[in-house]
Amino acid sequence: MKRSRNRTLGAPAIENGKFMGVPTPFLLAGLAAAAGLALLNSGDGSAQEPNVDTGSSTPTTSSSTPTKTSPSTTTKPSTGVSPPQVKPYRRPLKLKAAPQLLVFVNSFGGEGIFDRLRNTATILDGNGLDRILTLDNNEFAGWATGEEWIAQDTLQTYTKVYYEVGKIGYNYWIQKSQTSQVHAPAAQFSLATAYGFKWMSSDHESTIRQFYFDHYTL
């Protein structure tokens, strides 16, 4: 039997519109479908994810260009510790005047004593830059030093007194019109007979001592 020239060894058989026994239209359709499936599985290398933050399907591109920032000054973190307060030294003491006058508060509501004085009076502390405390009525405030000061705005006269707490002397101011100044013999007699004057309380003495300890180097 004589072989056909179209069917040589190693060559695919094509006859009557068929390839390997499969009709040519069906074969082409199958190849096209296989190519489409392969393309779908591999995906396009240039495709990008949509912007999920805004919900938009617009592709987002990342830029590798560095942003230029201006230098900023750095501040040291706070440690929460305030710098130590430098206490000033006290002024030289003004001692008792001669003859000795004892100064007692003569104010029904009591009277404040002050560390220093200023020309502008306020509701909180009168003419005192620092109010030490308020002494009770008829309470002993200290010995008169003979030094006085007149506030130019109120024309009130303040007198400086001297007092010892634990053998340490202190000076402070008190409004003169709210006090009674009594010579030492009469004052001692009044104190002894409970005439109305009284010695400074221990609580007030402690307050005076603590005030100067907190504000000054003794």
Give the model's pLDDT for residue 189: 74
Give the model's pLDDT for residue 53: 42
- Say if residue 103's pLDDT is above 80: yes
Give the model's pLDDT for residue 89: 86
Q: Which positions ≥6 away from 156 have C-beta within 8 Å? A: 121, 127, 150, 175, 176, 177
Residue 211 banded pLDDT, cuts 50, 70, 90: very high
Tens of pLDDT, residue by residue over 70-85, are: 555 555 565 666 666 7
- The whole model's pTM is what? 0.58
| Structure tokens that stand for 84 in this block | 């130590």
Where b means 16+ CB within 10 Å and e means fewer, 40-72 reads: eeeeeeeeeeeeeeeeeeeeeeeeeeeeeeeee
Sheet of strand 140-150: strand arrangement = 131-135, 111-114, 168-175, 157-165, 140-150, 101-105, 179-183
Lowest mean pLDDT segment, chosen from 49-58, 103-112, 135-144: 49-58
Query: Taking a C-beta distance cutoff of 8 angstroms, is the pair 142, 161 a contact?
Result: yes
Tens of pLDDT, residue by residue over 169-179, are: 999 999 999 99
Give the model's pLDDT for residue 145: 97
Of residues 97 and 61, more confidence is placed in: 97
| Structure tokens that stand for 192 in this block | 């002894």
Residue 47 banded pLDDT, cuts 50, 70, 90: very low
Give the model's pLDDT for residue 187: 78
Q: What are the strands, taking DSSP E only, across the chain? A: 14-15, 18-19, 22-23, 50-51, 56-59, 101-105, 111-114, 117-122, 126-128, 131-135, 140-150, 157-165, 168-175, 179-183
DSSP line for 121-176: EETTTEEESSEEEEEPTTBEEEEEEEEEEE-TTT--EEEEEEEEETTEEEEEEEEG
- Say if residue 36's pLDDT is above 80: no
Residue 190 banded pLDDT, cuts 50, 70, 90: confident
**Domain coordinates in residue numbering, the chain:** 101-215
